[in-house]
Amino acid sequence: MHTGGFGVITGFEAARRYGLKNTLAERIVHVLIPDRHQIKSAKFTIVERTVHMPEQRIVDGVPLAPPARAILDAARRIRDTDPVRAILIEAVSSNLCTVEELSAELESGSKRGTALPRAVIREIRSNVKSVPEAVALSLWKRAGLPPAERNVKIYDAQGNYIAMPDSYCEEVAMAWEIDSYDFHFEKTAYAKTIKRNARYTSAGVVVLQTLPSQLRDDPDAVVAQLRATYDTASSRPKPDITIVRAQRAA
């Protein structure tokens, strides 16, 4: 589409050209133009007039909005949480842009459709690195349980390593593992999972195992299981467990 040389591609098309994989399969190209120009959207394009016109980045000869702007332009048009989580987490984990750049873009641009990206950015700031982790965090909060930590290693009373659970509630020595069926039931991984669970049992740690598909398909059941597991853990004497927290990057 002709934009007189002042349009830049943003949204999912720009994200794909930056190399991201978690983009929706749509054929519509989102184009930004300065507010003073009058160009209408066409069949396969969305033309958005904006007073916040970004500086363009040329990728393979194509003018693109900067990564943070392009990704947020994509995210603010989505109403489903997981696709927003997927594209923002991938953008940050691949170093395409930083959380700070995304936050700055949210503050400087249009506020329309930004509530969901803001919530996801808060999850990323809490060290969430995948969609299942983000969903798990939201379900833990929904269950109303005391705070759980991630990226902590736990040891028994003799100093023997037990595991680094996906989530760990120190208050009652309860671990939560999100165990992928495909990964954990390959022969070697399955054996490691069995040994890990034996260490949990020997140390007195109560553990709940959940499949990623359960997080998506039956969240109510997962919340009920979390509450029941917590009740079980809180009903017995808390074992002598030591935790070691991972050092956070500065």
Q: Which residues pair with 242 in a beta bridge?
A: 155
For the segment 162-191, the average pLDDT, to the nearest whole number, is 82
User: In the chain, pLDDT over 90 holds for what percent of residues?
Assistant: 64
Which 8-state DSSP code applies to residue 167? E
- Confidence grade of residue 166 (pLDDT, cut at 50, 70, 90): very high
pLDDT of residue 52 exceeding 70, the answer is yes
For the segment 169-197, the average pLDDT, to the nearest whole number, is 81
Q: How many Cβ atoms are within 10 Å of 114's Cβ, its own excluded?
A: 17
Dihedrals phi, psi of 59, to nearest 5 degrees: -125, 115
Q: Dump pLDDT digits (tens) for 95-151.
A: 999 999 999 999 887 788 889 999 999 989 888 888 888 899 999 999 999 999 987
Dihedrals phi, psi of 63, to nearest 5 degrees: -75, 125
Coil vs helix vs strand at 120? helix
C-alpha to C-alpha distance for 113 and 118, rounded to whole angstroms: 10
pLDDT of residue 28 exceeding 90, the answer is no
Q: Dump pLDDT digits (tens) for 78-106.
A: 999 999 999 999 999 999 999 999 999 99
Query: 130 to each of 28, 121, 135, how far by Cα in Å?
Result: 27, 12, 9
Q: Which residues pair with 168 in a beta bridge?
A: 149, 175
For residue 136, the model assigns a pLDDT of 92
For residue 250, the model assigns a pLDDT of 32
Q: Domains in the chain, please, with CATH?
A: 8-125 (no CATH), 133-245 (3.40.960)
User: In the chain, pLDDT over 70 holds for what percent of residues?
Assistant: 90
